[in-house]
Amino acid sequence: MEAELDRELYEAACQAREKAYAPYSHFAVGAAVRAADGRIFTGCNIENASYGLSLCAERCAIFAGVKEGVREFTALCVTADTPGPVSPCGACRQVMAEFAITRIFLTNLQGACKEMTAAELLPYAFEL
Ligand code: THU
């Protein structure tokens, strides 16, 4: 585990993963974001029989904060049972870029951790 990992955020992401609703892929993902005021919001992936309606854990967590009025996030942690740090999908990268999250911890259940910024994960992101 890298020293700079926000351990509280990692634990929150691991706990949120336990709530994943993934009866189709059987791939459970958990995420947690930290708001600028310190609050933590969590998310898990939520699948649907109409597969395209499925929601990723990262967007679930970010939207949970946004709907409470948060607009500034200092960090995000995502975790899954992967051999190395889990790599977020393109849609989630675009949402991370929207809020310019600077500390994104990609982790797995064994404690592997890679820290990246939203800009590193999605260079040349779409903007209006
Ligand atoms: N998934 C996430 O929750 N986050 C990602 O960044 C990648 C994929 C979910 C979506 C789906 O429920 C399952 O993982 C398999 O794709």
Residue (of 82, 91, 101) closest to 32 by Cα position? 101
Residue (of 85, 101, 105, 98) closest to 125 by Cα position? 98
Ligand 1 centre from 57 Cα, in Å?
7
Ligand 1 centre from 100 Cα, in Å?
21
Dist CA 65 CA 72 (whole Å) = 9
In this predicted structure, the answer to whether residue 100 has a pLDDT above a threshold of 80 is: yes
* 37-81 per-position pLDDT tens digit: 999 999 999 999 999 999 999 999 999 999 999 999 999 999 999
Ligand 1 pocket, Cβ-based, cut-off 6 angstroms: 22, 25, 27, 29, 45, 47, 54, 56-58, 88-89, 92
Closest ligand 1 atom number to CA of residue 28 = 14
When pLDDT is cut at 50, 70 and 90, the band that residue 4 belongs to is: confident
Q: Using an 8 Å Cβ cutoff, are 117 and 99 in contact?
A: no
Q: What is the pTM of this model?
A: 0.97
